[in-house]
Amino acid sequence: METLVSIRGLTVDFDLGHRVVRVLHGVDLTIGKGQAIGLVGESGSGKSVTWLAALGLLGPRAHVGGSVQLSGEPLLGVPAARLEAVRGRRVAMIFQDPASALNPVHRIGRQIGEALRLHRGLDGAAARAEAKRLLERVGIADARRRLDDYPHQLSGGTNQRVMIAMALAGEPDMLVADEPTTALDATIQAQILDLLRELRRDGGMSMVLISHDLGVVAENSDRIAVMYAGRIVEEAPTAELFAAPRHPYTTGLLAALPDLDGPRRRLVAIPGTVPEPARLPPGCAFAPRCPQAIAACTTGVPPLVHVATDHRAACIRVQTAMAA
């Protein structure tokens, strides 16, 4: 498969003034053309920061290292104009809370129109007609009237559809959806996920779906990458990850998943919380919460290595088991 985006050794340090904190410790991730990747992990694991860093959206206090390439061309350290040509046009991003992600003082039509003018050179009536078509495409009823609405006049679900329409305006090669349904209730959540699936099927767009819920990404991705404390700890095709998870953290996430088809069982949440970036434990960051931790786990950070042809995990026990 042709590679669209390739992230290598991505690091992010935030300059907090009194000290510098590393929140990403070298992330490797590849997204193929037309591929859908799910990125999961608990809150604070670095899912959003990964993609904000890749698109240069973190602001001046963040120092980004490593490399990010889009179709072989670098994205890190390039001039602002180069990045602006990529954002929205090649890679679009939508965010968690659609109500605050849209500007409250501008009409929907205008906010979509901006992207249309920028990326497709459309203006005036042509832009309006296209914006209306996009709203219809994402399933908004009475699209013409909605163009003149402000975000606060629309529901959360409709606003997220507007965000998606805005993302589609640039006809991007890839859509990064950062927890697009977390702020929405369950029915709306399902509708938005259906819409994203449909768009991907029709458009051949690559997609990164970020979520803290393995269940959400399961049905919407070809591959899943699991993040913990600023690192990818396991990465595999979706079916394989569910059938044969190798990292104890992934196992923990799976155990916390309600089983839709099978018999009802007790959900087992992973005890403890994600460590703060400034206070990572030595060695494997998951060690304090890991039911399988051994003494060796605290001596060094386990690297992400292949545990099967198309399956990588970062756990000392998996490695020793393979070596044995």
Which residue ranges make up the site for other proteins (CB under 8 A)? 17, 52, 55, 57, 80-81, 84-89, 92-93, 95, 97, 100-107, 114-115, 118-119, 146, 149-150, 152-155, 157-158, 163, 166, 170, 188, 191
Element (H, E) at 228: strand 223-228
64 binding partner (options Mg ion, ligand SF4, other proteins, none; Cβ < 5 to 8 Å by kind)? none
Q: Per-residue x/- marks for ligand SF4, 223-262, CB under 6 A?
A: ------------------------xx--------------
Q: In this structure, are residues 229 and 23 in contact, taking their beta carbons and an 8 Å threshold?
A: no
Q: In this structure, are residues 231 and 224 in contact, taking their beta carbons and an 8 Å threshold?
A: no
Q: Kindly report the CA angle at 288 between 284 and 294, in degrees rounded to 5?
A: 65
Residue in the block written with tokens 């290595």: 305
Nearer to ligand ATP, 23 or 232 (CB): 23
Pairing of strands 36-40, 3-15: unpaired
Cα within 13 Å of Cα(209), Cβ side: 28
Tell whether residue 293 is a contact of ligand SF4 (CB under 6 A).
yes
List, in order, residues 6 or more apart from 280 with CB less than 8 Å away: 229
Token code pair at residue 257: 């998943």
Residue 231 CB, nearest distance to other proteins (Å)? 24
Choice from 48, 50, 206, 221 touching Mg ion (CB under 5 A): 48
317 binding partner (options ligand ATP, ligand SF4, other proteins, none; Cβ < 5 to 8 Å by kind)? ligand SF4
Tell whether residue 43 is a contact of ligand ATP (CB under 6 A).
yes
Distances (CA, A) of 240 to 11, 18, 54, 222, 252: 28, 44, 27, 10, 16
* Helix axis angle, 156-168 to 124-137, nearest 10°: 120
47 binding partner (options ligand ATP, ligand SF4, other proteins, none; Cβ < 5 to 8 Å by kind)? ligand ATP
d(CA 246, CA 250): 7
Q: Kindly report the CA angle at 291 between 287 and 293, in degrees rounded to 5?
A: 45
Q: Per-residue x/- marks for ligand ATP, 174-213, CB under 6 A?
A: --------------------------------------x-
Nearer to Mg ion, 48 or 111 (CB): 48
44 binding partner (options ligand ATP, other proteins, Mg ion, none; Cβ < 5 to 8 Å by kind)? ligand ATP
Tell me which residues touch ligand SF4 (CB under 6 A): 247-248, 284, 286-287, 290, 292-293, 297, 302, 315-317
Tell me which residues touch ligand ATP (CB under 6 A): 14, 23, 41, 43-49, 212, 277
Tell me which residues touch Mg ion (CB under 5 A): 48
